[in-house]
Structure 1
Amino acid sequence: MLSEITELQMRIQQLEKENRILQKKLERANAICLQLEETTRKKESLLRQVIDELKESQASLEKQSRELKQTLTDLKYAQTQLIQAEKMSSLGQLVAGVAHEINNPVNFIYGNLTHVQEYAYNLLLFVQLYRDRYPNPSPEIQALAEELDLEFIQADLPKVLGSMHMGTDRIRQIVLSLRNFSRMDEADSKAVDIHEGIDSTLLILQHRWQDSSAIQVIRDYGSLPLVECYPGQLNQVFMNILANAIDALEEANIKRSDQEIKENPSQITIQTSMMNSKWVKIAISDNGTGMTESVRQRIFDPFFTTKSVGKGTGMGMPISHQIITEKHGGKLDCFSIPGKGTEFIIQIPVQQPVSDAE
């Protein structure tokens, strides 16, 4: 019996020893597990940090890419603006030079036409008086009078001289308008008649709309004061808008029959008015095919154009928008209804801010 107790005690001691060993192993396993969990947490934290850094790097790269694209667009825009400004300045100098060279001989002709008319009138009066006093001239004089058709000359010469006078007067008006339009190199703002700028621009484009009965231009001018502006650049805006309107109407007329054009002629309407005592509004509209909303929203984007290659650079309207908004502190809005037409509304102050004028 004693031996059994002793054996049982030894067995219990053995079990307690094994239990202590297992307990230590369990403790070591728990420690290792905790260490693994901590290592896992650190790795997960490091992985999340790496992922976050990668996301930030990707976002930064995308931002830099957008900024680079925008910078490239801005550079191209600035370069095109410089080219356009130089082109318009050269055009202004060229037109001004041509107008000056034309003006001198035209003034000479115009000034002498008055004397020529007077001389011709006196000579015709003398011939008529001679024929009245000597109704039976010699055969040689009679033969020459018949050969020259003297009666026709007496009737037609005043008409010819009148036509020449009207022609030279028209040339003088054209030269004046060209000189008005060509003020591209004027750096300072000045008070000008807005209507003169519009009329000068229409004169430059006259060969495109007046020679064609398919396009009518309606001027609805209000009473405006002299407006302080940069006249050459403002004329450029008028040129861009009116040229686009003519392009749109010509394109629309290609698809219409002569009868349709006769019944509903293409029209460009120019209206000017005072918004209040400090602001002027110029509205230029056409009854063409108009444009979709998606196109209208991009009309002022640099390099955007709906014209075919070689017919448009997509810079006319963006530059016009900049001239009105930045140079004149005004507004340029576009409204269009597909199938009805398009309208551009220019709003500029009557007087430029002192800081801009200086």
Structure 2
Amino acid sequence: MELTNSHYAAVPVLTQNHRLGYLFAFANRRFGTPDEVEVLEAIADSLAIAISQSQLHGQIQEELKLLEEVLAKLRITEEHLVQSEKMTIIGQLTAEVAQKINNPINFIYGRLIHLNDYIKDLLSIIRLYREQYPEPVPRIAKKIETCDLDFISQELPQILNFLKIGADGIRQIVLALRKFSLPDEANKEHANVNESIDNILLLLAQRLEQKILVVKEYHNLPPIFCYPGQLSQVFASLIINAIDAVKSIENSAQIITIKTDIVEGYTGRFIVVSIAHNGSIIPPEIQQKIFDHSCPTKSFKNFTGLDLSVCYKIIVELHGGRLTVESPVQPQIKSKTGGGAEFRVKLPIV
């Protein structure tokens, strides 16, 4: 700066962070009496305090912003820990229940096979008796008529067959439940994605109901190195999402399409799982942040699966894959159902 006046005074200004400045006073006369210097020093001190307070306010604002970010991350971490702990506890309880059901149902299923053979033998002996003694004594003839032996002989094998089919169905459900609910080991293991999805569909059979058509287009996939339990949770959540979406459709077919395939990329081969539905679309503003922590799955009506941000973390961070969404789905754009949505999971084949 250029000093044009002939008389001026400079008083140092020392701020809290030790930055030295100067307060300049100009006059057309000669000045610098003790009283004037004292006033200038008081002004300089006040200015230094004001500058320090301003700097301190800025630091506080920055620290508050940083604190808010840390608290937000802590809340997200806490939610993930709670969700993880909840899923672990549920998985353990479900595995215990499945184990308790598995033992007696295996016992029943195994005994039904022998029971079926025994009853066949007994019915065969009864037929032989009727051939050898076509005219039974009155007491036996009366009992045969009362019991309707002919009806029992035809109905009993069918009942046993139905029991065997039912017991086998329960065994398959229990097996699928055990595979789905058992906690993952510390290390990854090889698993078949097609089998995992079929197990989930078996467990969700009640929710799928008869009016929901599930179209499966499976490619012959190699086993993938992964955390099977966590991948199953992701697929289950995406299928549940599709079920909730198609239930809003009226006067039209409710269709969920599940495809698996192998694709080649610059970095190797990948398994791609597509789970699509012809229900309502996902609005563009939600699509942009659908996998963010700030967009909880609670924004989707009746959604009961994992939070989509958790699904994203499992696919991307734990398995090095990709999770994307497209809505509306191109073939469905002109349909009466609104366009639907498609979630695609891409996993590297290791």
For this structure pair, what is the TM-score category when the shorter chain's length is used for normalisation? 0.7 to 0.9
* Number of the residue aligned with 2:236: 239
**Aligned length, in residue pairs:** 309
Partner Cα separation in structure 1 for residue 6 and residue 175 of structure 2: 99
* Number of the residue aligned with 1:299: 290
RMSD (Å), alpha carbons: 3.2
**1:166 is matched by which residue type in structure 2?**
I
Q: Could you say if the C-alpha distance between residues 267 and 321 of structure 1 is closer, same or farther in structure 2, counting changes exceeding 3 Å?
A: same
Once the two structures are superposed, residues 120-168 of structure 1 have per-residue CA deviations (whole angstroms, 9 ceiling, x without a partner) of 1111111111112212112221111111111110111111111111111
* Number of the residue aligned with 1:343: 342
* Number of the residue aligned with 2:85: 86
Once the two structures are superposed, residues 311-334 of structure 1 have per-residue CA deviations (whole angstroms, 9 ceiling, x without a partner) of 569961011101111111111111
Partner Cα separation in structure 2 for residue 315 and residue 216 of structure 1: 23
Residue 218 of structure 1 contacts residue 267 of structure 1 at CA under 8 Å; is this kept in 2? yes
For residue 184 of structure 1, report the CA deviation from its aligned partner: 2.2
Partner Cα separation in structure 2 for residue 78 and residue 313 of structure 1: 20
2:132 counterpart of 1:146: no
Q: Could you say if the C-alpha distance between residues 51 and 217 of structure 1 is closer, same or farther in structure 2, counting changes exceeding 3 Å?
A: farther
Residue 330 of structure 1 contacts residue 346 of structure 1 at CA under 8 Å; is this kept in 2? yes
User: Partner of 2:220: helix, strand, or coil?
Assistant: coil
**1:281 is matched by which residue type in structure 2?**
V
Structure 2, unpaired ranges of 5+: 11-22, 27-39
Partner Cα separation in structure 2 for residue 320 and residue 159 of structure 1: 46
Q: How does 1:1-358 map to 2 (within 5 A)?
A: 31=6, 38-39=24-25, 54=54, 60-209=59-208, 212-250=209-247, 252-253=248-249, 256=250, 260-261=251-252, 265-276=253-264, 278-302=269-293, 304-305=295-296, 307=298, 316-337=307-328, 339-351=338-350
Tell which deviates more after alignment, 334-343 or 301-310. 301-310
* Number of the residue aligned with 2:13: none
User: Partner of 2:260: helix, strand, or coil?
Assistant: strand
Q: Could you say if the C-alpha distance between residues 77 and 315 of structure 1 is closer, same or farther in structure 2, counting changes exceeding 3 Å?
A: farther
Q: Could you say if the C-alpha distance between residues 182 and 144 of structure 1 is closer, same or farther in structure 2, counting changes exceeding 3 Å?
A: same
Once the two structures are superposed, residues 201-253 of structure 1 have per-residue CA deviations (whole angstroms, 9 ceiling, x without a partner) of 222222111xx233111111111111000111111111221111111222x13
Q: Could you say if the C-alpha distance between residues 172 and 130 of structure 1 is closer, same or farther in structure 2, counting changes exceeding 3 Å?
A: same
Partner Cα separation in structure 1 for residue 300 and residue 258 of structure 2: 29
Partner Cα separation in structure 1 for residue 192 and residue 346 of structure 2: 15
- Whose Rg is larger? 1
For residue 64 of structure 1, report the CA deviation from its aligned partner: 3.4
User: Partner of 1:135: helix, strand, or coil?
Assistant: coil
Once the two structures are superposed, residues 242-282 of structure 1 have per-residue CA deviations (whole angstroms, 9 ceiling, x without a partner) of 111111222x13xx2xxx23xxx111111111112532111
Q: Could you say if the C-alpha distance between residues 63 and 197 of structure 1 is closer, same or farther in structure 2, counting changes exceeding 3 Å?
A: farther
Structure 1, unpaired ranges of 5+: 1-28, 352-358
Partner Cα separation in structure 1 for residue 56 and residue 86 of structure 2: 44
Partner Cα separation in structure 2 for residue 313 and residue 129 of structure 1: 60
For residue 65 of structure 1, report the CA deviation from its aligned partner: 3.6
Give the structure with the larger strand fraction: 2
For residue 307 of structure 1, report the CA deviation from its aligned partner: 4.1
**2:140 is matched by which residue type in structure 1?**
I
Identity %: 38
Give the structure with the larger helix fraction: 1
Q: Which has the higher contact order (CA 8 A, sep 6+)?
A: 1
Residue 278 of structure 1 contacts residue 349 of structure 1 at CA under 8 Å; is this kept in 2? yes
**1:198 is matched by which residue type in structure 2?**
I
User: Partner of 1:346: helix, strand, or coil?
Assistant: strand
**1:104 is matched by which residue type in structure 2?**
N
Residue 273 of structure 1 contacts residue 282 of structure 1 at CA under 8 Å; is this kept in 2? yes
Partner Cα separation in structure 2 for residue 115 and residue 280 of structure 1: 44
